[in-house]
Structure 1
Amino acid sequence: MSHTALIRSHRKPRRSASKIAMRAGVAGGVLSTLAVAGASGSASAAEPVTQTLELPTLTADLAAQVAQSADATQQAAANYQLQAERDSAAAKAAKQAKSDLAEAKQKAEAKKKAQQAARKAAAERASRSAERTTLAAPAASSASTGTSTSTSTSTATGSAAAVIAFVKAQIGDAYVSGGTGPNSWDCSGLVQAAFKQVGVNLPRVSQDQSTAGTQVSLSNLQPGDILYWGSAGSAYHVAVYVGDGMFVGAQNPSTGVAEKPLSYDPPTGAVRVL
């Protein structure tokens, strides 16, 4: 035995059973903690499996969202189409209204022109009636006194006789507007053809024929003179004076080419080309 063995402080301390047990408990607790941690780790490792099982739920939600988005897109498209249809209808209505307004203006303008033409025609008829009344008065006066114009009984000779013979040969032919023979005539067509027989080329229409020669007084007519109705340069009818107070002309569709007295339709004036 050592010489210090009896000295208490120099003895090697012994481990008590309680400490050993406590240490064993601590160790067991640590092992338990590790086991729990391991179990927790295993549980954590199993979480992806749990999430994978929940994917169908997430997919269904996503499908619902997609469906809602599709509905919203379809509604927006429908709203856009409706607005486009409304805009198109409004534009069409505005275009139709503009067209209707233009048509109404055209009709109003045409009506106005027709009224003006009617008033002008009425004024011209009144003027012609006044002129005929004025010309008829001297003719009636001459008839009542037994006198006549100095040319009423004159006999045509030369070219004038040929012109008169031609127009008398056409008496009974039809009147046709624009007619130039040989069996139908209008007034200026007959006069032009008659003077062409003697080499005189007259204009085609009444207005021009009324200024083709020298203006002569109705009181100094000679056979072969051209009679006109209306103003010189704007005459609406012509015929040929054939003497003895008579004239031959293509009058109208009802009479055709006929010989009439001056009193039947007193002319406005006369021109001489022969």
Structure 2
Amino acid sequence: MSHTAHIRSHRKPRRSASKIAMRAGVAGGVLSTLAVAGASASSANAAEPVTQTLELPTLTADISAQVAQSAEATQLAAANYELRAERDAAAAKAAQQAEKNLAEAKKKAAEAKKKAQEEEARKAAAEQAAQRASRSSERPTLSASVSADVSTSSSSATGSAAAVVDFVKAQVGKAYVSGATGPSAYDCSGLVQTAFKQVGIDLPRVSQDQSTAGTQVSLSNLQPGDILYWGGAGSAYHVAVYVGDGMFVGAQNPSSGVVERDLSYDPPSGAVRVL
């Protein structure tokens, strides 16, 4: 027997082919299982991004809708602002036009009023001229003999009559102002009233009443200091004072003032004597 017969060999015993094949099969199965598991895990891991990708369109649509709504709101606000601006501009323009129309209307009204006043003054002047013409045609003209008789009476004016005549002659050239009684301006009845106040006689204020304040006298028998009137007795529209020599003094109108005129310039309707 060899001296090494009982010593084990340091080499491992060879495995049989069947065992090796079996183990290889087991190992392959395990690896296959691990591979499947890994694949499954990989598939699972790969599915997660897919899930996130599916959710992104939903989130993107919401954001797009919000953006669209915001843009629409902005456009609406801009449109409203523009509309308000247009309305404000239109209102301002309308106000300016209304103010212009009002100014034009006032101007036209003033012009119409002025024309109406001028027309009224023209008609009044025409009516007065017509009345004078009518009086002239209805009233006989003073004859030469009457004028002679009247002229001779002027030299006999004394006392109160002379004072009245002197006073009215002293006012010639002063202004005519409606309602005035002196000393710088008169109207027709104001002059007569003030003249007779100089001799202590208080006459009525207006021509209608002055035309009936004394005794009615004929125009052919006038004396200095007699009150002449135009129109009817009690409805006279003008008065003056006879000063002799066929002349009278009266406050005629705003354009003439206090003047001395011949009786033929504007023959009176009648006369009264208070002195």
Give the TM-score normalised by structure 1. 0.62
**1:75 matched to which residue of 2?**
79
Give yes or no for contact 2:173–2:259 (8 Å, CA) kept in 1: no
Give, in angstroms, the shift of residue 38 of structure 1: 3.4
SS in 2 for 1:123: helix
Mapped to 2, the partners of 1:205 and 1:186 lie a distance apart of: 10
Aligned amino acid, residue 249 of structure 2: V
Mapped to 1, the partners of 2:93 and 2:240 lie a distance apart of: 64
Question: CA 1:205–1:147 in 2, change beyond 3 Å: closer, same or farther?
Answer: closer
The residue correspondences of 1:28-43 to structure 2 (distance < 5 A) are 34-43=37-46
**1:200 matched to which residue of 2?**
201
Question: CA 1:79–1:32 in 2, change beyond 3 Å: closer, same or farther?
Answer: farther
Give, in angstroms, the shift of residue 205 of structure 1: 5.1
**2:164 matched to which residue of 1?**
163
Question: CA 1:233–1:79 in 2, change beyond 3 Å: closer, same or farther?
Answer: same
Question: CA 1:115–1:245 in 2, change beyond 3 Å: closer, same or farther?
Answer: closer
Question: CA 1:130–1:73 in 2, change beyond 3 Å: closer, same or farther?
Answer: same
**1:227 matched to which residue of 2?**
228
SS in 2 for 1:42: helix
Question: CA 1:119–1:164 in 2, change beyond 3 Å: closer, same or farther?
Answer: closer
**2:176 matched to which residue of 1?**
177
Question: CA 1:53–1:195 in 2, change beyond 3 Å: closer, same or farther?
Answer: same
**Does 2:243 correspond to 1:239?**
no
**2:11 matched to which residue of 1?**
none
Mapped to 1, the partners of 2:255 and 2:94 lie a distance apart of: 58
Structure 1: runs of 5+ lacking an equivalent:
1-16
Aligned length: 246
1:18-45 CA-to-partner distances (Å, cap 9, x unmatched) read 9xx79x96x8777656544533443455
Mapped to 1, the partners of 2:176 and 2:39 lie a distance apart of: 127
Which residue, out of 118, 122, 127, partners 2:126?
122
Question: CA 1:39–1:199 in 2, change beyond 3 Å: closer, same or farther?
Answer: farther
Q: Which range moved further: 90-99 or 63-72?
A: 90-99
Mapped to 1, the partners of 2:200 and 2:98 lie a distance apart of: 66
Give, in angstroms, the shift of residue 76 of structure 1: 3.3
Mapped to 1, the partners of 2:239 and 2:46 lie a distance apart of: 128
Question: CA 1:41–1:98 in 2, change beyond 3 Å: closer, same or farther?
Answer: farther
Give, in angstroms, the shift of residue 63 of structure 1: 8.4
**2:4 matched to which residue of 1?**
none
Question: CA 1:111–1:174 in 2, change beyond 3 Å: closer, same or farther?
Answer: closer
SS in 2 for 1:227: strand
SS in 2 for 1:242: strand
**1:132 matched to which residue of 2?**
136
